[in-house]
Amino acid sequence: MIHGFIPPHRFFAYLTWQEIEKMSNKENTVIIQPIGAIEQHGYHLPLVVDSAISEGVLGKALALLSDKIPAFALPTLYYGKSNEHDGFAGTITISSQTLYTLILEMAESIYKAGFRKIVLMNSHGGQPQVMEIVARDLHQKFPDLDVFPFFTWRVPNITNELLTEEEQEWGIHAGDAETSLMLALLPQQVKMDLAVKEYPRNLAPNSLLSMEGKLPFAWLTKELSDSGVMGDATSATKEKGDRILASLAQGWVRVIEDVYNF
């Protein structure tokens, strides 16, 4: 069905315009935009990973959320800014300007309908900065609109407790965590017989510079990985994925509650 992982009664696109027009407490209703990407994730994972994670985690969270809290998921925005994965067949990327405009105009439409709280739930590591920029610009344009540019994995969760120290440091793409979570969400689409362990190469040891830390450098996946994987996908299990999914969903329930009460 079109709603995918999202509970049907929480799927914004299933509402009629009259239901939206007559809805009470719209100023506190939480509208959530799941955002992902269509990009390579190694030999073993499908292109849809980031989008599936946004929608899958959100769907489980909304199923757990109290019916007393009004919250709706918009249809997932599948395309993202994925140019770091150029050179791997199947990756679809849009520019930061296009992504910015898509989110801006979506949010303006939601604002015109009377809603005042929008969560940008992004699962792709290549575009949090775009979320933050558009959120600030929207709030400047509409001071009574609260916009929350969140990264899916930053809610309280147990993921790092299940990973090795090496994986916590370097497993940033298609590694243990993402593969385990996909085994929980879309197991039939995971080819574990093709999973590999490959960490970023050509990085100077003990350097202050890092890929995603406080002093990052610009990088392209082709420069760092042959397979497209940066992590240990071979250590992934469905059991870990189920625990990660449950933990992320509980974290997102707490976040949605906080946004509602903000």
pLDDT digits (tens, 9 = 90+) for 62-110: 999 999 999 999 999 999 999 999 999 999 999 999 999 999 999 999 9
Q: Containing H/E element for 32?
A: strand 30-35
pLDDT at residue 214 in the model: 86
Q: Is the pLDDT of residue 205 over 90?
A: no
Dist. CA 164–CA 159, nearest whole Å: 10
* Topology at the third CATH level for domain 26-256: Rossmann fold (3.40.50)
pLDDT at residue 164 in the model: 96
Q: Containing H/E element for 103?
A: helix 96-112
3 state SS of 218? coil
In whole angstroms, how far apart are CA 142 and each of 50, 123, 149? Answer: 29, 25, 16
Q: Is the pLDDT of residue 204 over 90?
A: no
Tell me: the pLDDT tens digits for 109-125?
999 999 999 999 999 99
Q: Of 74, 161, 166, 173, nearest to 123 (Cα)?
A: 173
pLDDT at residue 179 in the model: 98
Contacts of residue 260, defined as CB under 8 A and 6 or more positions apart, other chains included, come to 28, 30, 69, 70, 71, 117
Predicted TM-score of the model (pTM): 0.96
pLDDT at residue 212 in the model: 83
List own/partner pairs for 160-165 with CB under 8 A and 24 or more apart.
162/240, 162/243, 162/244, 164/232, 164/235
Find the angle CA(171)-CA(173)-CA(174) to the nearest 5 degrees.
Answer: 100
Q: Containing H/E element for 148?
A: strand 146-151
How large a percentage of the chain has pLDDT more than 90? 94
